[in-house]
Amino acid sequence: MLNSVTPFFIVDDLAATLAFYQSKLGFDVRYKGGGDGNADGDFWAILGRDQIMLMFKAITPEVHPQPNRSRHEWARWDAYIHTDDPDSLYTEFLSKEVPMLQELANTHDGLRLRNHRQQRLCALFRPPR
């Protein structure tokens, strides 16, 4: 039986990514490693919030993130996140000054959509019932 999937994102700056996800999006670091015992040398991490986990890795200075939207205009997001209460989550993110591309709104395909500018994450929510 399948229980979850954990998206894996390449990042330029692991420390800045972790700080953003912790301070703005409410995630916690579940594992950080790769630095052979030297925390300053760590280059990948697993973050989590509730039942969601995301993996991040800084590869090399020459390898940069490539969001889906940079390859295909119609591919607006790199991850799908479901929540039972999109309005509360949106309010929480606004209170933490998460930069938004657009306001939370119902879409033509029956979803409730919220994008934010940083870290290529888009949350898509089923409309509240």
List the pLDDT tens digit at each of the 129 positions of the chain.
878 888 888 999 999 999 999 998 999 999 998 877 666 788 899 999 999 999 999 988 888 877 766 777 666 667 777 777 888 888 898 899 887 767 777 777 666 655 544 444 545 444 333
Tell whether 80 is covered by a domain: yes
Q: CA of 1: how far to CAs of 4, 20, 50, 75, in Å?
A: 10, 33, 20, 29
pLDDT in the model for residue 125: 42
| Phi then psi dihedrals of residue 39, to 5 deg | -55, -35
Tell whether 44 is covered by a domain: yes
pLDDT in the model for residue 120: 46
pLDDT in the model for residue 119: 42
**Which structure tokens are listed for 89?**
């989550």
Is 0.85 topped by the overall pTM? no
Tell whether 70 is covered by a domain: no
CATH number of the domain that 42 lies in? 3.10.180.10
Tell whether 62 is covered by a domain: no
Q: Which domain holds residue 104?
A: 76-125
Count of domains forming the chain: 2
Same-domain check for residues 52 and 80: no
Alpha-helical regions (H) of the chain:
14-23, 68-71, 86-95
CATH number of the domain that 116 lies in? 3.30.720
Same-domain check for residues 121 and 80: yes
